[in-house]
């Protein structure tokens, strides 16, 4: 694939008035597994054109075929979001043909300290920030430039409840998600007068290969399908933030406002530290 368009035949329902979807053209990164794959399938419907980006060609092809079975039109590309130039060119080319209504910057990686490690390696830290921060920015900025010309569109940045507090077990991951949360909140204010919506999505633990690798407890774990359905429903209202599940949202918010020593004590008490 190497960044070229790979499309299904145009659906006979593409121009049908039966399609009531608000978003007709949607870009999703990290679409080959976990939450990204679930989002792709959640949005797949007649009259919807999905642009799916991920690194794993085999898994991406499987998800693309599942979406086509739901009568969506699908373009997909095997790209790494850290390949900024190639990604920007692909998004720009796609948007010129199919103006984007919604961009979901979902691609991300995690990093946690393993037993016996005193701190994360530099390579691990750089990989996390390159993907979770610069990869997200590289995804949304080409789309934003074209959305501004149309005075319409919506951006969803997938952050995490981990963005609310620094955790000793995953400082790079939490830091990268915090950067996206704060950036997205600021971006919303600057783009809303131009007709572009921005939502920061902060999920808790979503069942995936990434969450399976987390060495601590995973309270209020939800399936990827459940998370995708919730995000899809709430995005239609263009909220500033989507954070779930509520009990865990409340817990991390509390950890973010108490003194750092108390926050760290509670994290260690509940085996998050």
Backbone angles phi, psi at 206, to 5 degrees: -110, 130
Residue 243 lies in a domain: yes
Residue 198 lies in a domain: yes
How many CB atoms neighbour CB 210 within 10 A? Answer: 17
Residue 10 lies in a domain: no
Residue 137 lies in a domain: yes
**Domain span at 103:** 25-269
Residue 247's SS3 state is helix
Residue 9 lies in a domain: no
What CATH code is carried by the domain that includes residue 200?
3.40.50.720
From the candidates 98, 173, 183, 214, which is the catalytic residue?
173
Domain count, the chain: 1
pLDDT of residue 118: 77
In whole angstroms, what is the distance from residue 131 CA to residue 157 CA? 13
Q: Beta strand pairing status for 154-158 and 197-203? A: parallel
- Residue 30 CA, chain-centre distance (Å), reads 7
* Rg of the chain on CA atoms, in Å: 18
Residue 200's SS3 state is strand
- Residue 99 CA, chain-centre distance (Å), reads 20
Q: Beta strand pairing status for 241-244 and 154-158? A: unpaired
Residue 145 lies in a domain: yes
Say whether 173 is catalytic: yes
For residue 221, what are its two tokens? 């774990």
pLDDT of residue 159: 98
For residue 217, what are its two tokens? 């407890």
In whole angstroms, what is the distance from residue 270 CA to residue 215 CA? 13
Per-residue pLDDT tens listing for the chain (273 residues): 444 454 443 333 333 223 334 799 999 999 999 999 999 999 999 999 999 999 999 999 999 999 999 999 999 999 999 999 999 999 999 999 999 999 999 999 988 877 667 788 999 999 999 999 999 999 999 999 999 999 999 999 999 999 999 988 889 999 999 999 999 999 999 999 999 999 999 999 998 877 777 767 788 899 999 999 999 999 999 999 999 999 999 999 999 999 999 999 998 888 765
Residue 209 lies in a domain: yes
Cα separation values, 172 from 34, 72, 113, 158, 169, Å = 21, 37, 10, 16, 9
Residue 39 lies in a domain: yes
Q: CB–CB of 29/81 below 8 Å?
A: yes
């Amino acid at each position: 694939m190497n960044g070229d368009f790979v499309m299904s035949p145009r659906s006979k329902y593409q121009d049908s008035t039966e399609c009531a979807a608000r978003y007709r053209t949607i870009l999703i990164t990290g679409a080959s597994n976990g939450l990204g794959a679930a989002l792709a399938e959640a949005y797949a419907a007649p009259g919807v054109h999905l642009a799916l980006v991920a690194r794993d060609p085999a898994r991406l092809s499987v998800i693309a075929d599942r979406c086509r079975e739901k009568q969506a039109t699908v373009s997909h590309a095997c790209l790494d979001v850290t390949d900024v130039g190639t990604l920007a060119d692909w998004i720009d080319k796609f948007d010129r043909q199919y103006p984007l209504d919604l961009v979901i910057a979902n691609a991300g990686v995690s990093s946690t300290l393993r037993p016996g490690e005193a701190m994360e390696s530099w390579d691990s830290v750089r990989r996390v920030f390159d993907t979770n921060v610069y990869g997200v920015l590289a995804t949304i900025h080409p789309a934003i430039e074209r959305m501004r010309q149309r005075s319409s569109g919506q951006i969803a940045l997938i952050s995490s409840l981990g963005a609310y507090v620094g955790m000793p077990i995953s400082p790079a991951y939490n830091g990268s998600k915090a950067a996206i949360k704060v950036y997205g909140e600021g971006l919303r204010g600057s783009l809303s007068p131009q007709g572009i919506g921005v939502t920061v999505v902060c999920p808790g633990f979503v069942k995936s290969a990434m969450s399976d690798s987390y060495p601590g407890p995973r309270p209020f774990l939800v399936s990827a399908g459940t998370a995708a359905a919730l995000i899809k429903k709430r995005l239609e209202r263009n909220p500033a933030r989507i954070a779930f599940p509520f009990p865990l949202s409340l817990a991390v918010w509390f950890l973010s406002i108490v003194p750092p020593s108390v926050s760290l004590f509670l994290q260690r008490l509940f085996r998050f530290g």
